[in-house]
Amino acid sequence: MRRPVALIALTALVVSGCGGKGSQPTAGPSTVPSSTVPVTEGPSSPASTPTAETASPTRPTRSPHTTQAPSCVDQKLKALTLREKAGQLIMTGIDGAGMTSAQRAVVQQQKSGGVFLVGNGGSLASTRTAMAAVRSAGTVEGVRPFIAADQEGGRIQRLKGPGFDRIPAATVQGTWSSSKLTAQAQEWGSQLKRAGVNVDLAPVADVVPASLKSQNAPVGQLDREYGDTPQQAGQGVEAFVQGMRKAGIATSVKHFPGLGRVRGNTDFAAGVVDDVTVRGDANLQPFADGIKAGTSMVMVSTVTYSKIDPKNRAVFSPTVIQGMVRGDLGWQGVVITDDVGSAAEVKAVPAGDRATRFVAAGGDIVINAEPGLTAVMVNALVAEAQQDTSFAAKLTSSVRRVLTLKQDYGLVSCG
């Protein structure tokens, strides 16, 4: 029997002692308390490699005069300029078939730490060639870029040319056994891996009540949900994450704290509000299940949740990100936005503020579907860090989380 989210969070506190919808993409091993999230080993899992902090507890205590070699992530943090650090926090949209010359210039000049594919791509072979060019343009100081695709299935599958299986919708996947879905997800992930893609911006963890399915534009109308109860959705989320992890592909459970009870699609509508979901809601369970399964990221929606934080959209809400994601769920890994580049929901917010407000609230990676806004966002992050030491510390913490995740997936090289 599944434990409710609130009980999972309470267990973590007691045991560990620690407190795209439609046509657009929307948003790895986690650092959640080990007492609540068993590690699922995969080809790229770092769990079996002790770090200086996690090595055997029987190791000798170091002399106070002994210096320890800095970790690879520490080396990279020291080597990156402030602007390069800011760039690591932006995931820029590029054409699914590969970068245009203008997009290449953005990735190179702004040191964008990641890209995601907008629109449909070509064959596996052509995608592999196109993504090699992305790696070349986006590598900074031995840090390679995240390359992400929305590969959910059904109507939301960016890569479906020759070499890629046609993936059924989540509503179909949710009828399979967990073992079958895990095996299928591993195969789909292996195809992404061969194509040079390292992140799948999936799975959808939103619960759409059966009574709202036909009215729910972002998820229900597109058959993106694994089930209409937290238990059904959670089982699908777990199985999908485990399969992708086995293939060495990072995942992002989305769209916290859920799009299942709204009507409007934030890609195309503004003023979308959820006036039902509460903190500790039973429908948050699939996100906890995704964390337990080993997801790499948690994606936060751009909706306003009036019973949680009526003054801020979720992506700009410290209550949602720090209080619920990092606090209630115990997630200490990467938090990523839904698209805040071209989405109608955030058009009224200055582009630079979209990035700074998210990082200030505790988030890490900004998804930006408008390449022309990447420079604006990077500039805003740099300027805010230069004038506010508290924000600069948050930015550095975000970059550390991003680099740690990249290291987990073999995207960081240290000499």
pLDDT per position as a tens digit, 318-347 = 999 999 999 999 999 999 999 999 999 999
**d(C-alpha 348, C-alpha 333), whole Å:** 29
| Predicted local distance difference test score (pLDDT) of residue 143 | 98
**d(C-alpha 293, C-alpha 40), whole Å:** 7
| Predicted local distance difference test score (pLDDT) of residue 68 | 52
pLDDT band for position 44 (cuts 50, 70, 90): very low
pLDDT for residue 193 is more than 60: yes
pLDDT for residue 353 is more than 60: yes
pLDDT band for position 24 (cuts 50, 70, 90): very low
Q: What type of residue sits at position 339?
A: D
Q: Where are the domains of the chain?
A: 5-29+71-408
| Predicted local distance difference test score (pLDDT) of residue 69 | 61
276-296 pLDDT, tens digit each: 999 999 999 999 999 999 999
Identify the bridge partners of residue 298 per DSSP, sorted by sequence position: 253, 335
Q: How far is CA 366 from CA 24, 71, 116, 256, 262, in A?
A: 15, 26, 11, 15, 23
Lowest mean pLDDT among 22-31, 86-95, 250-259, 269-278: 22-31
Please name the residues in contact with 101: beta carbons below 8 A apart, sequence gap of 6 or more: none
228-245 pLDDT, tens digit each: 999 999 999 999 999 999
**d(C-alpha 218, C-alpha 209), whole Å:** 13
- Name the residue among 165, 96, 100, 91 with its Cα closest to residue 127: 96
pLDDT for residue 1 is more than 90: no
- Name the residue among 287, 281, 231 with its Cα closest to residue 261: 281
pLDDT for residue 5 is more than 80: no
Enter the CATH code of domain 5-29+71-408: 3.20.20.300
Q: What type of residue sits at position 363?
A: G
**d(C-alpha 346, C-alpha 351), whole Å:** 9
| Predicted local distance difference test score (pLDDT) of residue 191 | 98
How many other CB atoms are there within 10 angstroms of residue 139's CB atom? 15
- Main-chain dihedrals φ then ψ at residue 209, nearest 5 degrees: -55, 140
| Predicted local distance difference test score (pLDDT) of residue 414 | 87
Mean pLDDT over all residues of the chain?
87
- Cβ atoms of 340 and 313 closer than 8 Å: no
Residue predicted with more confidence, 193 or 59: 193
| Predicted local distance difference test score (pLDDT) of residue 21 | 53
pTM for the model? 0.85
- Main-chain dihedrals φ then ψ at residue 339, nearest 5 degrees: -60, 130
Q: Report, as an integer, the average pLDDT of 48-60.
A: 32
Q: Report, as an integer, the average pLDDT of 117-146.
A: 96
**d(C-alpha 275, C-alpha 88), whole Å:** 34
pLDDT band for position 209 (cuts 50, 70, 90): very high
pLDDT for residue 104 is more than 60: yes
b/e per residue 190-224 (b: at least 16 CB within 10 A): bbbbebbbbbbbbbbbbbbbeebbeebbbbbbbbb
Q: Quick one: DSSP state of residue 92?
A: E
Alpha carbon dihedral 116, 119, 125, 128, in 10-degree steps, equals -10
**d(C-alpha 211, C-alpha 202), whole Å:** 24
- Name the residue among 261, 336, 334, 363 with its Cα closest to residue 304: 261
